[in-house]
Structure 1
Amino acid sequence: MKKYYWLISILTIFLVNCKEVPSDIVDSYIYLQKNGRDRMDWRIIWEDHFDNAKLDTTKWTRIPPNNADWGKHMTSNQQCYSISNGNLFLKGIINQDTLNDPRPFLTGGIYSKGKFAFQYGKIEIRAKLESAQGAWPAIWMLAEQKKYGAYPRNGEIDIMEHLNFDDIIYQTTHSYYTLELKQKETPPHHGTTKVDTSRFNTYGLEWYPDKLVFTLNDEETFIYPRVKGVDSSQWPYDQPFYVLIDQQLGGAWVGKVNPDNLPVQMIIDFVKVYQ
């Protein structure tokens, strides 16, 4: 009889755990939060603590250079990446080999594009920011599948951006609604909050079907709501997004880079995603 009780107990635990699976997984890497999950306790679905000596390439890709302000110095050069003591170091440096690469600066960044994306849930990134003139570290998200067409139709979620030696961070949404229709105040599309860059901080986002809740060290800092009765481009945040983390340098917003302040780096402790 005890044998049967044991089997029943195991079966019960199995069935309960099956019911608690928070995600439907598409194409083996896109996690769609199940309906009603936002009213339940968060469960971790994906994480990286950078405990290995090398970057986990099943989760991350080094961001290649591109023509955007933020991406013109991106590189896969090993000098811009290191992992030690459970931390990932993304660096902005002076390029010492302009014969092979004419760019004056090089920067490191990673993204989960094509390897992990999620729709709704919670993300936390614990990181320490260093400062320099022209430094622009960012933690942000872009649409994986481009449901509505070309950028900015699918939106952008900037969980954290820091400029130069500022004592604030920016937390922002961009979309066709904000950039092309210029609707930046109905509702306000960004907020700023004080930050102590001398320490590690946890930058976060809670993403619901009707709002984006930005956080700093588990404290709510800014909310971007879905608004009824406006152009539908106001809310492209109903599709899977992937994660980008990068130590950017230079650009129209942050200004010119002061080489005397380099190298500079962003130090990442962990990334956790919940649904």
Structure 2
Amino acid sequence: MSYLSSHIQLTMKRILLMLLAVAAISSCKVTNRSGNRQHIYVQKQGREHKTWKLVWQDEFNQPQLDTSRWTRIPPNNAAWGKHMSSNEACYRLDSGLLYLRGIVNPDTVADPRPFLTGGIWSKGKFAFQYGRIEIRAKLEGAQGAWPAMWMLAEQDKYGKYPKNGEIDIMEHLNHDQLIYQTTHSWYTLELKQDKNPPHGGTAKLDPLAFNTFGISWYPDRIEFQLNGKTTFTYPRVQGVDPSQWPYDQPFYILIDQQLGGDWVGKVHPEQLPVQMIVDWVRVYQ
């Protein structure tokens, strides 16, 4: 066999191996990506019956917040958002941990609000439909502290809030030793169908320790979890108003150290600063 023939055969073999590798990778694809930044991850049909695969994560090992993944949440008029701020004093990254801090406002001339607090969201940068999300974090306690991990719809499929739904992975109040895990929608809030089926539950935790909060989200149910154990399940129900299940669209992530509001009560400034310390965020499909 000539050198040229041998070289051609070797080249063809390498090309074939490369094509087989690409085919293998494609066959293992777990998500379909879309959006102007390819930031929307929609789980492939049938994946819910297979082993989870990691598709997106942030370990917070970089010296500054990864702005390709997150944006600091701006203030808004909702009870949870009135003290949100981009002030540097509300954010810190250190040794692989993200600190979201609620503080007494050091400069009420520049900003008249008495308190400032930090939070991040992945709106416009990452959203997913179906899969599993886990967030490992430690929640400090203070009167008026309301740390939350939750999700809202990336796209306006059904109309203004609450028609697109809300998934509260975790909410913690004050110095409680439990968390609230809840779904909200037009069905639960406007039609008052919050017990058909029950739309939320609670779970006990050690507030002094790091815990892993999460959901496993399927086309027919949302399983809420704490430290890997299912604590509450919200099912899709047949034969009721369609607004019961707006959870068939991509949602983005919010992680914020909220302060104040009717539910949590007044903030006690002598108990600030208070922090939510986030170790990592991981999404599987």
Same fold (TM over 0.5): yes
Q: Secondary structure at the match of 2:283?
A: strand
Q: After the TM superposition, which residues 188-227 of structure 1 pair with which residues of structure 2 at under 5 Å, given as runs?
A: 188-227=198-237
Distance 2:107 2:48 in 1: 50
Number of residue pairs aligned between Structure 1 and Structure 2: 275
Partner residue of 1:158?
168
The structural deviation recorded for 1:6 is: 5.8
Describe the superposition over 1:12-37 as per-residue Cα deviations: whole angstroms up to 9, x where unpaired: 33211111111111121111111001
TM superposition score normalised by structure 2: 0.94
TM superposition score normalised by structure 1: 0.97
Partner residue of 2:49?
39
Residues 1:86 and 2:87 aligned together: no
Partner residue of 1:115?
125
Return 5+ residue gaps in structure 2 as ranges. 1-5
Residues 1:180 and 2:190 aligned together: yes
Supply the RMSD in Å over aligned alpha carbons.
1.2
Structure 1 segments (4+ residues) deviating >6 Å: none
Distance 1:60 1:8 in 2: 40
Q: Secondary structure at the match of 1:142?
A: strand
2:31 to 23, 33, 50: 23
Q: Secondary structure at the match of 1:151?
A: coil
Q: Which amino acid aligns with 1:33?
A: Q
Describe the superposition over 1:238-260 as per-residue Cα deviations: whole angstroms up to 9, x where unpaired: 00000000000000000011111
Q: Secondary structure at the match of 2:182?
A: strand
Distance 1:125 1:5 in 2: 44
Distance 1:178 1:14 in 2: 46
Return 5+ residue gaps in structure 1 as ranges. none
Describe the superposition over 1:70-126 as per-residue Cα deviations: whole angstroms up to 9, x where unpaired: 000000000000000000000000001111111000010000000000111110000
Distance 2:149 2:68 in 1: 19
Distance 1:140 1:18 in 2: 31
The structural deviation recorded for 1:10 is: 4.2
Residue identity (%): 63
Q: Which amino acid aligns with 2:30?
A: P
In our comparison, the structure showing a higher alpha carbon Rg is 2
Distance 2:124 2:46 in 1: 26
Worse overlay, 227-236 or 19-28: 19-28
Partner residue of 1:135?
145
